[in-house]
A and B are shown apart, each in its own frame.
Chain A
Amino acid sequence: MSDLLNVTSSPHVREKDSTQKIMGWVIIALLPASLFGIYNFGYRALILILATIASCVASEWIFEKIVHKKSTISDLSAVVTGLLLALNLPPTLPVWMAVLGGVFAIVVVKMLFGGLGQNFMNPALGARCFLLISFTGSMTTFTYDGVTGATPLALLKSGESVDTMRMLLGTTAGTIGETSVIAILIGAIILIMAGVIDLRIPASYIVTFAAFIVLFSGHGLDGSYLVAQLCGGGLMLGAFFMATDYVTSPVTPSGKILYGIALGILTGIFRLFGASAEGVSYAIIFGNLLVPLIEKITIPRAFGIVKEKGGKKNE
Chain B
Amino acid sequence: MSLKTFKGGVHPKDGKDLSKSKPIKELLPTGELVFPMSQHIGAPAVPIVAKGDTVLKGQKIAEAGGFVSAPIYSSVSGTVKAIEPRRVAVGDMVNSIVIESDGNFTEVEYQETEDVTALSREEIINKIKEAGVVGMGGAGFPTHVKLSPKEPDKIDYIIANCAECEPYLTSDYRRMVEEPEKLVEGMRIILQLFPNAKGLFGIEDNKPDCIEKISALVASEDRMEVVPLMTKYPQGGERQLIYATTGRSINAKMLPADAGCIVDNVETMVAVYNAVKWGKPLTNRIFTVTGDAVCEPRNFYISVGTSYQQLLDAAGGLIAPAQKMISGGPMMGFALFDLNVPTTKTTSALLCMTEDEVSKYETTACINCGRCVEACPEQLVPCKLAQFSNHGQKDQFEKWYGLECVECGSCSFVCPARRPVAQAVKNMKKDILADKRKKK
Contacts and interface: CB of A to CB of B under 8 A. Distances in A.
Interface string B251-291: 11110000000000000000000000000000000000000
A309 to B, nearest CB: 18
Given A14-B357, A299-B381, A9 B420 contact: yes
B330 A117 contact: no
Interface stretch (A97-105, A276-284, A300-308): A300-308
A225 B292 CA distance: 63
Interface of B: 6-7, 10, 12-13, 167, 239, 243, 249-254, 321-326, 330-339, 353, 356-359, 361, 364-371, 373, 377-381, 383-384, 399-401, 404, 409-410, 412-418, 420, 422-423, 426
Given A9-B335, A14-B415, A246-B368, 18 more contacts: A5-B336, A6-B356, A7-B336, A8-B358, A10-B335, A11-B413, A12-B353, A13-B13, A18-B418, A116-B367, A117-B368, A251-B383, A253-B373, A299-B399, A300-B380, A303-B379, A304-B251, A305-B404
Contacts of B251: 302-305, 314
30 contacts: A1-B338, A2-B338, A5-B322, A5-B323, A5-B325, A5-B337, A6-B335, A8-B358, A8-B359, A11-B422, A12-B330, A12-B331, A14-B412, A14-B418, A15-B416, A17-B416, A18-B416, A18-B418, A72-B364, A117-B367, A117-B368, A118-B365, A246-B368, A247-B368, A249-B368, A251-B368, A252-B373, A300-B379, A303-B7, A314-B251
Contact of A303 (B321, B358, B370, B377): B377
B365 A116 contact: yes
A6 B336 CA distance: 8
Contacts of B337: 2, 5, 7
B401 A302 contact: yes
Nearest to B8: A303
A9 B423 contact: yes
B12 A6 contact: no
A25 B378 CA distance: 29
A32 interface: no
Closest 9 CB pairs of A and B: A11-B409, A304-B251, A302-B401, A117-B365, A302-B404, A9-B423, A304-B249, A7-B335, A6-B356
A11 B335 contact: no
A251 B383 CA distance: 9
Secondary structure dominating the interface of B: loop
Nearest to A23: B367
A108 B81 CA distance: 69
B404 A304 contact: yes
Indicate the size class of the contact surface on chain A. 35 or more
Contacts of A295: 384
Contacts of A160: none
Contact of B404 (A15, A22, A116, A303): A303
Residue among A7, A13, A15, A115 with the most chain B CB within 10 A? Answer: A13
A300 B381 contact: yes
Contacts of B420: 8-9
A19 interface: yes
A10 B416 contact: no
Interface of A: 1-2, 4-15, 17-19, 21-22, 72, 75, 77, 115-118, 246-247, 249, 251-253, 295, 299-305, 314-315
B290 to A, nearest CB: 13
A17 B372 CA distance: 13
Given A12-B358, A117-B368, A299 B400 contact: yes
A4 B369 contact: no
A301 B324 contact: no
A303 B239 contact: yes
B413 A15 contact: yes
Given A118-B365, A247-B367, A251-B383, A5 B335 contact: yes
